[in-house]
Structure 1
Amino acid sequence: MKYVLFLFLLCFSSLQAQRAFKPIGTNNQPQKGRLALVIGNSAYPGQALPNAANDAQDMAATLRQLGFEVILKLNLNQTELEDVVSAFTQRLKNYEVGLFYFAGHGFEAGDNLNYLMSVEVRSDLNETLAKRKSLCLNDVMSSMKEANSHTNILLVDACRNNPFRGWDRNTASGLGAVNAPSGTIAFFAASPGQTASENAGQRNGLFTQELLKQLRQPNVELISIFKNTARAVKGKNARQTPYQAGFITDDFYFKRTDTPTQISRQEEPAKPVVDLEPIAMISIPGGSFMMGSNNEWEKPIHRVTLSRFMMAKYETTVAEFERFVEATGYQTEAEKGNGSKVYSNGKWETKADAYWRCDTEGKVRPRSEYNHPVIHVSWKDAVAYCEWLSQRTGQQYRLPTEAEWEYAARGGQQSRKTIYAGSNNLNEVGWHTQRRGTYAVGQKRANELGLYDLSGNVWEWCSDWSSEDFYTYSPERDPTGPSRGAYRTVRGGSWFHDAEDNRVSARMGIEPVTSISWLGFRVVLPEKNR
């Protein structure tokens, strides 16, 4: 029997159909697979939700283990929300199971529709403006229905508080009642009139924390997952009772290990699968700028004109690099016996067992730090990641050229001509001169283009060979660096280095086989390839 499954982990009221996203058209037969879109919005101005990104990352990791192919996105604006949902639902028609997960702020508007807020929504906006910068949940529902996948699941952990105190709200805070359509199960973080706990001081919101535990249990049918989750949540917060509406007639399992000969392919446990693209890409219009400075190694200042391209919003994280390694079995230069350089006892030394899963001291990171930029990777390792990502997506991902990197760091055509990427105050935009090591990506302020950590956190590999005098003869149009050399260029400064090294024009050359605890990378994509 065909059925649709919705798990709502939020504080919303009744769901009504509205418009759908761009219609889907394909004649391909459905694949025997599971596809999930997982979104976590934490970086709300003045109303940040630290746990939301953690919720999304942990849900993505769990879903991969349960056989889902996962697209993970963090801190999206309204346009990015709509674009990624449209792309997700277009692909969904080729899968038997679709899952949508959102963690962040949400609200029910006066039109009785429910909205998932982009990170552009501020608490001083009125309802009309907030709706324009949010994603209507009903659009997501309608689009997933149109995809005609066998089973659709929505998990939304939102509305943990109401940041819009200036709005006139005549109803009690929290969930309202839901009339789930036939063949639909809705599961909420709290009952009508209640709010869901943010679970302050913990990594996850209370509902997501308990739901994740249940999803990982083998051979537990969906209704039992609901009951067990509700029991655990209420046991820890008497004011919060998870709420279920609707019914289905078929059993559904997230994970099965018993009687394998009787399990359909959609229910088989599968090897973890990988995201098909980085967390988020920013479109950067082409244009001209003055590259370099009068400092040594950065002169002469010269005009450069670049074509349009896209750049990753964040530095490549440990979690992203892990998916590459799991998919390919790739061994980094450090793992092949070279080790990686770490700062210990006031000096730099090569640590034989330091590799990409390790922190700046060469100790294996806890999974809670997999949202930090990956380090202990060489230029060759970064290129291998780009090649794999290109093969998986059919796009041509690569490392940025030095010119692309500096243009983006300066803010492109929106540049305010700041010393660092987005500010003249390095503390606002970058982690620097620290001895504590790396930090989770995206925690400081973005630059003019919405790019994070271009100053500080980690230096970033560029595609160019490094040359002290290249600026004297560099071509003006789309330069790609010298044709040969002994070193590759790195840009951006790091957690270890001082303010001088974190300037947008600062540059350095490193041997391409080098791995070190302050060096990572991010990817770019020529716009014409999309």
Structure 2
Amino acid sequence: MYCHAPAGFMRACLMVLLSLVISLALEAQPGLAQATDEMTDAPPPPGSALVIDNAAYASGGLPSAPALSSAQSLARELTRIGFNVGIAANLRQNAMRGAINAFTGAIKPGSAALFFFSGYGVEAKGATYLIPIDANIWTEADVRDQGISVDAILAAMDKAGAKVKIMILDASRRNPFERRFRSLSGGLGAIDPPPQTLLLSSAEPGKVVDGDGNIFIGELLKELRSPDARADDVFNHTRLGVARATSNQQTPVVKSTLTEPFFLKSGSGTPDLPADAKADAGAVQLGPPQDAKPGAVFRDCAACPELVIVPAGDFAMGSQDFAAEQPVHSVTIGQPFAIGRGEVTFAQWDACVADGGCAGWRPDDRGRDHNDGPVGEVSWSDAHRFLDWLSRKSGHPYRLPSEAEWEYAARAGAPTRFWWGDEAGSGHANCRGCGGGGQPSPAGSYPANAFGLFDTAGNIAEWVEDCWSENYEGAPHDGGVAHDGPCKQRVVRGGSFDAGPRYVRSASRFLYDAELRYYTNGFRIVRDLP
């Protein structure tokens, strides 16, 4: 083909020639054409998000924080557009670091990663630090020691392989810490985002916001609900909306180092998945990663339940609410372990029955989801039959969690009554009074906690290994089983869809006969790591 045209048309002509060359090459190599199509059509990995709302600061009083429901609404909106979302509230330093490590550990290379923080932020030596609720700050050195660096979080997201890094900071509040070593609150420092990052901060560097963040979050939520909007447009429209609503008293900041358009809905990888499929979104690695990175998800065989790696750490177990939950005592989980991302489902139980491992017992599904719904009406002994079968099938030993391991994983670093805060609210768990109730919901119908676990509150009550004890007197501090050996009564944790909010708190515990098959009781699995 010969191309003769004026100079103004030469570029178009060259493009025609190039297209023809590519077409001829692909016709000559059909395998190459197929591979090219597959690479073009392959969806990106599902995006990960972590939402942290810190309000109950132990030192310095309560900030003018937005209601926790605003952060919860954000988590629900991010879930709707396709992100795998973890949400946590009122985190102490160790718990906050653990939640962030679990979040960055769950990032899939090539995916989008989004981090949101609401609470206090402080600038020190030109860098910005996010403040845990147990911080006791008197100097700039304390800020650097006890705060968590924004730059470090972005660097960890980048190191994990996030193709697009998104950070939203609602932390430019006048705080009580700075007056101890400064005359005025200075707001956040200027943040220099790394490549392929989109940043939204609720106020300009050096400026503070008096009052709550409801306007900021409200404008952001409104823009997130716009169909098929580019991420930078969402943030810029949020900035304009806040400035307009506050008569220019508050102007958020948008910074972008993106080199190509990014759409939150399509970029997150699974925008159109129904809620009950989110727990299974994306390819899951077979076998644990060698570095046992917290937040990593894997399974030991195609039919095995998904597991998530929980980091080592410590927490205060129990509560003052009921005598059976006392005394509150410190527990240290010395090693990471893998725990079921969700509760064992009917489909997984049926596979055990079909393979001869579960004694032919088929619980009644009572008209609910028989595939992704959690299996109920199984006894503690039934759960052990499943664990024995799964251990033989996979070649790896499985077990029930200890009571301490269960509560540690369920809390995901939160010292509050529920992993999302002190009030049950709605939209976080399936129970009577939580916006659910009536029957169990499929796995992944509600947001995961900060460790990536679904349904640790409500849905199906879960057997643990321990024998029942009247209280925690003499309980071990290493996360081990408190009372083991032959016993008639065992412990269930987490409450169920048929229980009220007080019974689905992270500290709630109950006794059942080990041989009783009750329709609200099921289990999740644990596997120790090498």
Which among 138, 146, 152 is matched to residue 133 of structure 1? Answer: 146
Distance in 1 of aligned mates of 2:52 and 2:509: 33
Note if contact 2:107-2:157 (Cα within 8 Å) is conserved in structure 1: yes
1:263-318, CA deviations, whole angstroms, 9 ceiling, x for partnerless residues? xx766623152496889877469xxxxxxxxx9x9xxxxxxxx9968899xxx9xx
Quick one: structure 1 residues 267 and 477, their matched pair in 2 at CA, closer, same or farther if it must change by over 3 Å? closer
Please list, as runs of the form range in 1=range in 2, the aligned pairs for 1:372-383 lying within 5 A after superposition.
none
Please list, as runs of the form range in 1=range in 2, the aligned pairs for 1:108-507 lying within 5 A after superposition.
108-109=123-124, 111-122=125-136, 125-169=138-182, 173-175=186-188, 177=190, 184-196=197-209, 199=212, 205-238=214-247, 239-246=249-256, 248-255=258-265, 269-271=271-273, 272=275, 273-274=278-279, 283=313, 336=366, 400-401=401-402, 462-463=463-464, 479-482=483-486, 488-490=490-492
Q: Percent identity?
A: 23
| Match in the other structure for 1:413 | none
1:124-148, CA deviations, whole angstroms, 9 ceiling, x for partnerless residues? 5433234322211111122233344
Distance in 2 of aligned mates of 1:430 and 1:62: 20
What stretches of structure 1 of length at least 5 have no aligned partner? 1-29, 257-264, 286-294, 298-305, 339-356, 358-373, 409-420, 423-428, 432-436, 441-456, 469-475
Residue identity opposite 2:366 in structure 1: K
TM-score norm. by structure 1 comes to 0.51
Residue identity opposite 1:220 in structure 2: A
1:357-395, CA deviations, whole angstroms, 9 ceiling, x for partnerless residues? 9xxxxxxxxxxxxxxxx9x987769979x99xx99xx99
Deviation at 1:114?
A: 0.8
Distance in 2 of aligned mates of 1:101 and 1:406: 26
| Match in the other structure for 2:529 | 529
Deviation at 1:38?
A: 0.7
Residue identity opposite 1:158 in structure 2: A
Quick one: structure 1 residues 458 and 63, their matched pair in 2 at CA, closer, same or farther if it must change by over 3 Å? closer
| Match in the other structure for 1:104 | 119
1:193-237, CA deviations, whole angstroms, 9 ceiling, x for partnerless residues? 4334653xxxx7331222122112212223331232123323432
Note if contact 1:37-1:88 (Cα within 8 Å) is conserved in structure 2: yes
Distance in 1 of aligned mates of 2:522 and 2:460: 7
Deviation at 1:524?
A: 8.7
Quick one: structure 1 residues 227 and 465, their matched pair in 2 at CA, closer, same or farther if it must change by over 3 Å? closer
Matched, 1:94 2:109: yes
Residue identity opposite 1:112 in structure 2: G
Deviation at 1:155?
A: 1.9
Quick one: structure 1 residues 171 and 31, their matched pair in 2 at CA, closer, same or farther if it must change by over 3 Å? farther
Higher Cα Rg, which structure? 2
Distance in 1 of aligned mates of 2:77 and 2:345: 17
1:448-479, CA deviations, whole angstroms, 9 ceiling, x for partnerless residues? xxxxxxxxx999754359789xxxxxxx9875
Quick one: structure 1 residues 506 and 283, their matched pair in 2 at CA, closer, same or farther if it must change by over 3 Å? same
Distance in 2 of aligned mates of 1:281 and 1:181: 27
Give the length in aligned residue pairs. 370
Distance in 2 of aligned mates of 1:377 and 1:82: 35
Residue identity opposite 1:241 in structure 2: T
Matched, 1:40 2:47: no
Deviation at 1:70?
A: 2.9
Q: Which moved more, 1:127-136 or 1:81-90?
A: 81-90
Partner-residue secondary structure (3-state), 2:45: strand
Note if contact 2:48-2:106 (Cα within 8 Å) is conserved in structure 1: no
Note if contact 1:197-1:240 (Cα within 8 Å) is conserved in structure 2: no
Note if contact 1:40-1:55 (Cα within 8 Å) is conserved in structure 2: no
Partner-residue secondary structure (3-state), 2:366: helix
Please list, as runs of the form range in 1=range in 2, the aligned pairs for 1:45-56 lying within 5 A after superposition.
45-46=58-59, 47-48=61-62, 51=66, 53-56=68-71
Distance in 2 of aligned mates of 1:477 and 1:178: 46
Residue identity opposite 2:164 in structure 1: T
1:164-192, CA deviations, whole angstroms, 9 ceiling, x for partnerless residues? 15333366643555555676543321234
Distance in 2 of aligned mates of 1:191 and 1:55: 21
Distance in 2 of aligned mates of 1:488 and 1:89: 36
Distance in 1 of aligned mates of 2:348 and 2:85: 17
RMSD of aligned Cα (Å): 6.0
Quick one: structure 1 residues 311 and 163, their matched pair in 2 at CA, closer, same or farther if it must change by over 3 Å? farther
Quick one: structure 1 residues 205 and 460, their matched pair in 2 at CA, closer, same or farther if it must change by over 3 Å? same
Partner-residue secondary structure (3-state), 2:179: coil
Note if contact 1:187-1:242 (Cα within 8 Å) is conserved in structure 2: yes
Quick one: structure 1 residues 107 and 525, their matched pair in 2 at CA, closer, same or farther if it must change by over 3 Å? farther
